[in-house]
Structure formats: structure tokens, C-alpha cells
Structure 1
Amino acid sequence: MSAKIFIDGESGTTGLGIRARLEADPDVELVSLPAGQRKDLDAKKAVMEQADIVVLCLPDEAARETAAIAAAMGSKGPRILDASTAHRVAPGWTYGFPELVPGQAEAIANARYVANPGCYATGAIALLRPLIDKGLLPANVPLTIYAVSGYSGGGKAMIADYEKGTAPAFEAYALGLEHKHVPEIERYARLTRRPLFAPSVGNFAQGMLVFVPLFLEDLPGKPKGADLADTLAAHYAASPFVKLVPAESSGKIEPESLNGTNDLELRVFANAARGHAILVAKLDNLGKGASGAALQNLKLMLQNQAPN
């Protein structure tokens, strides 16, 4: 029997991406609401009662509202995968980055409530957590994280502006230093000091680069670039989606080559003479940064799902 999945917010960018990935899956039956009933809470509850898993692709407040409906249903309620920011650091929710630490994939498979990671956070945490766990970076290290994303992550208004040609070619934003991905970066990278995070958007639809510059000689133990690379390679050696790749000898990198995949590539660009390194994560902001990650988490959750 197929597992029933309800995508709440299926008309948005992430929801459409998840639906497209699930439509060909014979083990899944998609259930949905007519467009005119999507804000009708009674109608939503009725659909949720049919579903095994509900995927939330909603603004944060609406995601909290739907999660509360599920919680009020008690043991008969569906499992939840939330693609919003609402529950990423909330008590009782499992963080949906299977490669985070050994056992995380199993925790996701068994969880009732799973929070899909943010796109920028996925790249930053993938770079930082293994190095902090290994002791190559102290948890209180002062960090600045830079990133650039394709415009598809900015919502319908931004997408329309770029497609009309009225948006700037490049734009830095969130310079008030309160970006919504910082709390999850801080928690799941195991940082004890809040990093500075400076994101930006460029005139390309999909793709993402996340950069973490390091002064190696200022770090305890004065690690070399090879030490960082070896640690990252070992941590992700068994992952089908995350891997360390050699840094380009040209010293250049573009953001779009992983588009349409759930892959995440990590690189260590290092200059031994200067004692400098830049860690780089490349991913599709709509793939491993959103819908692809959601599908990966759904497949884990379905391993331990008895359909209604």
C-alpha cells in the first residue's frame, strides 16, 4: 500500500519541486486540497487525517499553525516534515541533515517531526561541524560566512523581477545581521559564538556557493589545508550526496554545475605560504538546499512508515 503524503503549500517553489519529485514514485500517493480550500483549517485537518506524512512548504507562522493541528491530533496525527524556518531549532524536532553526524539518518527515519535545513545552513554546517567535532576549529572561533544564491530562492516576487530584467545583477542583503539561517548554523555546527553571515543573490536562477574564510595560523594547533580536507573527506566518505572534491587549480569556482541534483560538494582552497584557507560548499539551492533534501528526508521517514 502506498504512503499518503500531503504537501501543504504545494504551489510554492519548494512545494512544486517536492511534488515533481514524488509524482513518479509508485510507493507514494499524493493527496491535496482544492485551491479554494487551502486556507480552510477544517478542510486541511480532514486531509491531514488521511495523510501519513505532511510536508509543510509554508511561511513560518502558517507552518506553526499546521504543526499545531497535527499535534492536537495526538497519536493519530500524521508525521511532519517542515521545509520552513519555523521549527529548525525548536524542541522536539529532528534536524533533517542526514549527514550531520553518525546516526542522524536513523534519527530522521524514526522521528515524528523533522525540520528540513535551510539552503545556506546546509553548506555552512557541512563545512564546519566535522572540523569542530575533530577539534580543528574551536567552537568559539570568530567566523564570517559569505554566500551567493540563485534568485529562485527569493520567492515569487524576486523571481518575477529577475525574469522581467528589473532586478540588479547582484545584490547583498540581510546586512542587518539577523538572517533566519544563523540560529541553525550556530546550533548544528556546534558554534558557541554567533558567526557573521553575509548572503547575496546573483542573476542566475539556481545554484549556491557558501564560503568560510580561515586564518589557519590563528587556530589552535595551526592546522594545514590538508588537515581540513582530510577531516571533511573522512566524515562524508560513506555519503552518496556529500563529498570533498579537489579545489580548482585555477582558483575559480562557479555556482551552477550541481543544478538539478541533490549533491553537495565541499572544497578547501588553501595557501600554505600565507596561512590562509577558504572553505567552499557548492549546492543547488532548490536541490540539497530545499526540495532534494526534503525528498531525501521523506525517503528516510518512509522506511519506518506504516501507511494508513
Structure 2
Amino acid sequence: MGYKVFIDGGHGTTGLKIHERLDQRDDIEILRIDEAHRKDLDAKIEMTKQADISILCLPDAASRELAQAAPPDVRLIDTSTAHRTNPDWVYGMPELAPGQREKIRNAARVANPGCHATGFILLVRPLVDAGILPPDYPLDAFCITGYSGGGKKMIQNHEKADREAYLSSPGQYGLTQKHKHLPEMVMMTGISQAPAFSPIVGDFYSGMVMTVPLHTGMLHGSPGPEEIRQVYRERYGEEKMIRVMDKDPEDGFIHSNVMAGSDEFQIFVTGNEERVLLLSRFDNLGKGASGQAVQNMNIMLGIEETKGV
């Protein structure tokens, strides 16, 4: 066997998906804790000491507790929101900016991004860095995602035989504008204020589309769709998991579940010379969660980063 990996919280949606990915690999040995000790902090700390990397798939409070108790040289990837804006942790998005991969490679603590944040940041950050999008632009964003993003309870509610009739329609949430991904969306893009963000749950298992509308007259240089598309090509041209699409989505529609089961991240720029839509389409369980965690693990271990994703 090769590297040893401990997954703490392997019974949740993200943890199970990571288990599925790593179980198929001959270069990874998954360390398994006795079921009777899976909530025993001391036992879990001992497992992290034995592992080359531990992946935390826990609620925020439990992740903080383990991270604080673990020795500083223990290598952790946290999939919760607990540490994403913590300056002592490296943000686990290799494509964020030049040098980010090297930071992840050398890190002891890596915070895996949120799914909505992933879709937003990879659209917005290049335009801010290129000087096209003013940091104080009053951004809006909306995202439709599969119900698996809500975890086990939401999955059960959608899939039970006697479910509520309203679950067949899209469900808008985050109505108080306090979505838990907003802090990282601001910090990792360099914008000066949070977007007005409207996430929506659809009646499908996985996949998502993030949309950021822009008025070109409020951008530096008033760029049209092709000029913005070229910024993405230059930024992500060497990336294996990001694909800048040359054509508009299928038949004038963009369907949110098309990338379910994939780790590819697609970028579309549609609209006209006055208004454009920035669109990212990917799997909330793939590049938005477990696929990103495995990509970060690979980088930290010096393995080809797309292996198993």
C-alpha cells in the first residue's frame, strides 16, 4: 500500500463520495476507526497521527475541535466551512491564483472550498485580477443546485415515496442574505462587498449552475462576451479540470444536472454587448466537494492531481 488516509465523518454525503473514490485506488490505504470510537476525540487524534493526510467531513464545531487538538504537523483537509477564511489555513482551490498549488502542496492545513463559492470564485476572480471588474461592483449571483447539497436529510425528504408536493418545484433559500459561503466568496475574489446571492435547490440529485450577471458599461473597457471569454482562456488554458466553452449552452438553455458525476468545471459567457451572463456548470459533489478534496489530497501527497477525479 502507498499513502495512508483517514476520513473522519465518512458517513455523510461528502465523506461517502471520498470513500468511493479512494477505495478504487491501489496507492491509497484508508485507515478505518472502530465504530465504537468514531466520536472519541482521542482515538481520532491517534488516527490522524498514523495517517499521511486526514480528511474531515464533519460539522463546523467538530472540525474546529479536532483541528485544535491535532498536533501542528498533522496534515488535514477540512471540507466544512470552519476554516475557509482562517489565515492559518490554505484555501484549497489550486486554480485560484498563480502559486496556489505550491501553497497547497506545502500546507499542513487545507480548507476545501464550498460548492457555491467554487462556482462564484472561479468566475469572478480572473476578472478582478485582470482589472475588468471593479472590486466595488454591486454583484448579484444566483445558483441552482441538486438536492444532494443539502445532505442526508434533504436527500431523504426528496426521495421518500410520500414526500411533500412542493419539493417538485425549485426551492429558493438564503433569503436573509447570510449564506455560509459568502465570507469566502468575498475574501477569495477581492471584491469589497458580498454579492446579493440567491441559491436555489432543484428536484434533481446533483449538478449545479452558478450565474453572475454583469452590465458591461460598468466594467473597465466595456468588454463584450468574447473579450471576457478570452480572459478565462488565458487564465485557465493550462487547467485540466476547467473548460472554457466557445459556444452557448444547448438549445438556448443551460441545464444544471448535465455535469453530474463529472469533475469537469465548465465556464460559459453569454449575452450581448450591453449585458453578459457569467455561467459555471459543474457537479456539487465533484469539483464542488469530494472531487476537489481528492484533488487537494493528490497535490499535498505529490501525486498527479487529477488521479481519481
The TM-score range, normalised by the shorter chain, is over 0.9
Structure 2 SS opposite 1:42: helix
1:235 lines up with 2:253 in the alignment: no
Aligned to 2:212: 212
1:268 lines up with 2:277 in the alignment: no
233-242 or 164-173, larger mean C-alpha shift: 164-173
**How far did 1:218 drift?**
2.2
Once residues 84 and 74 of structure 1 are traced to their aligned partners in structure 2, the CA distance between those partners, rounded to angstroms, is 19
1:98 lines up with 2:99 in the alignment: no
Aligned to 1:255: 256
**How far did 1:183 drift?**
0.6
Once residues 226 and 84 of structure 1 are traced to their aligned partners in structure 2, the CA distance between those partners, rounded to angstroms, is 36
Q: Deviations over 1:253-295 (max 9, x none)?
A: 10122111111000001222xx011110000000000000011
Once residues 249 and 7 of structure 2 are traced to their aligned partners in structure 1, the CA distance between those partners, rounded to angstroms, is 40
Aligned to 1:82: 78
Aligned to 2:307: none
**How far did 1:249 drift?**
6.8
113-122 or 30-39, larger mean C-alpha shift: 30-39
Aligned to 2:108: 112
Once residues 4 and 65 of structure 1 are traced to their aligned partners in structure 2, the CA distance between those partners, rounded to angstroms, is 22
Amino acid corresponding to residue 116 of structure 1 in structure 2: N
- Please show how residues 11-30 of structure 1 align to structure 2 within 5 Å: 11-30=11-30
Once residues 115 and 221 of structure 1 are traced to their aligned partners in structure 2, the CA distance between those partners, rounded to angstroms, is 35
103-112 or 281-290, larger mean C-alpha shift: 103-112
**How far did 1:176 drift?**
0.4
Q: Deviations over 1:91-116 (max 9, x none)?
A: 21111111111221121111110010
Aligned to 2:63: 63
Amino acid corresponding to residue 52 of structure 2 in structure 1: D
Once residues 139 and 18 of structure 1 are traced to their aligned partners in structure 2, the CA distance between those partners, rounded to angstroms, is 35
Tell me if structure 1 keeps the 8 A contact 2:224–2:272. Answer: no
Aligned to 1:138: 134
Alignment CA distance shift 1:74-1:189 (3 Å): closer
- Give the TM-score normalised by structure 1: 0.94
Once residues 16 and 222 of structure 1 are traced to their aligned partners in structure 2, the CA distance between those partners, rounded to angstroms, is 45
Amino acid corresponding to residue 298 of structure 1 in structure 2: M
Once residues 250 and 243 of structure 2 are traced to their aligned partners in structure 1, the CA distance between those partners, rounded to angstroms, is 18
Once residues 230 and 288 of structure 1 are traced to their aligned partners in structure 2, the CA distance between those partners, rounded to angstroms, is 23
Aligned to 2:171: 171
Amino acid corresponding to residue 265 of structure 2 in structure 1: L
1:123 lines up with 2:119 in the alignment: yes
Aligned to 2:185: 185
Amino acid corresponding to residue 93 of structure 1 in structure 2: W
Runs of 5+ in structure 1 lacking a partner?
Answer: none
Once residues 33 and 119 of structure 2 are traced to their aligned partners in structure 1, the CA distance between those partners, rounded to angstroms, is 34
Amino acid corresponding to residue 40 of structure 2 in structure 1: D
1:53 lines up with 2:49 in the alignment: no
Once residues 106 and 123 of structure 1 are traced to their aligned partners in structure 2, the CA distance between those partners, rounded to angstroms, is 22
Once residues 82 and 271 of structure 1 are traced to their aligned partners in structure 2, the CA distance between those partners, rounded to angstroms, is 40
Structure 2 SS opposite 1:250: helix
Aligned to 1:297: 296
* Over 6 Å off, 4+ runs: none
Identity of aligned residues (%): 44
**How far did 1:220 drift?**
2.7
Once residues 83 and 4 of structure 1 are traced to their aligned partners in structure 2, the CA distance between those partners, rounded to angstroms, is 18
What's the Cα RMSD here?
Answer: 1.3
1:5 lines up with 2:5 in the alignment: yes
Q: Deviations over 1:42-91 (max 9, x none)?
A: 21122122111110000000000111121xx244xx20000000000002
55-64 or 41-50, larger mean C-alpha shift: 41-50
**How far did 1:33 drift?**
1.3
Once residues 209 and 174 of structure 1 are traced to their aligned partners in structure 2, the CA distance between those partners, rounded to angstroms, is 16
Amino acid corresponding to residue 133 of structure 1 in structure 2: D
Aligned to 1:288: 287
Amino acid corresponding to residue 302 of structure 1 in structure 2: L
Once residues 136 and 122 of structure 1 are traced to their aligned partners in structure 2, the CA distance between those partners, rounded to angstroms, is 20
Once residues 95 and 221 of structure 1 are traced to their aligned partners in structure 2, the CA distance between those partners, rounded to angstroms, is 31
